[in-house]
Structure 1
């Protein structure tokens, strides 16, 4: 994998790939990660998703906001999301701390803000805590989509409203929180051609690169970054999108 694909970073993650289920199996993940470190050369990250949805009932402790909103219980739905975010922050900080102390070269927050602005806020707070706790830690934050869904609508960070933020503004907040790598995700429009989607993704990513002081590793895969929405994307479309990202946006990684 390292030699064939020229990978300069690698990542380990649990099958469920979310911080909530991962926290209960850290005693398994730690020795597994140790063995992975012994047989790999590139930087090895540990990654998972914030995945705020896992904190809703019946599997989690909080009422489901998506069940409350149709009933007109807006304030209750917002309160539930805020409680979910608090639980998520604790889990992300715990897992990040355990794996970093186990030898991880970095921690990856993957598919961030899939559940909207409350999840983005949870990630910001977790990054902030981890940065203060481990000043040298590499923290990568990859996004779920091109703008923050306002599922709560009133959450702010450092005086900035989170709902509706696009990549060039998302990176500003993540940089303030203490992230060291940011991964914008630009949605693919299935009604448009590959060249159209690549051009659009490159436009958004270039603005993000120009507005950032930390490395930008854009999400370029199925459904984002100009890549078609197929299980196995055609190699010509993938190579052209990747090349365009590197040549036009001048980003730091994919």
Structure 2
């Protein structure tokens, strides 16, 4: 039986969005200290407003920095909600004319799938074309943080198979510093440097770790974990006998 990887830095799920943001900031700082410069943060909860989610993460992009929204409406709303910004931080919408300098850190806020070309172009400008996402000897590109990218609906907007592969290859240059997704029966979680973990809800507000993974588990692996945990539950076995549950 494979050894269970330990959760040393983040042994508990967050209790609310504020705690999730605190964990994400801490985990991303640890990844930056380890040399990563392209970081992916995903906090997948319903009805999160971009301007509310993004504000705490400004501290991850030291000035001079760009904070980029997918459209002008989102940028304008954030500007109105946030009021004054720290010195050296600019708030813009992401367009083909967005032109950061290698000295600027960048925070992308919920970039849409149709803006992926612009996202990749900006990343290349900031990193000097180096897709590794790691600080190299003699050069240290500025951080690029991708916050809750909205890329799941690629097929719906007409992105073909080749385009989806290019998208996945680009995203693979990012280190997932924080990931939190609520599931019907638990949660999928990762906070750098800890491994990925699948959690099962025992009762409201109480979760336990089912298994840890070195890499992100597939949807089928997660589903099978929950199925296997239920098979060991005598109440589930009784319901299966009564109702013919597979």
**TM-score, length basis structure 1:** 0.35
Bigger radius of gyration: 2
TM-score by length of 2: 0.36
More helix by share: 1
**Structure with the largest fraction of strand:** 2
The structure whose RCO (Cα within 8 Å, separation 6+) is larger is 2
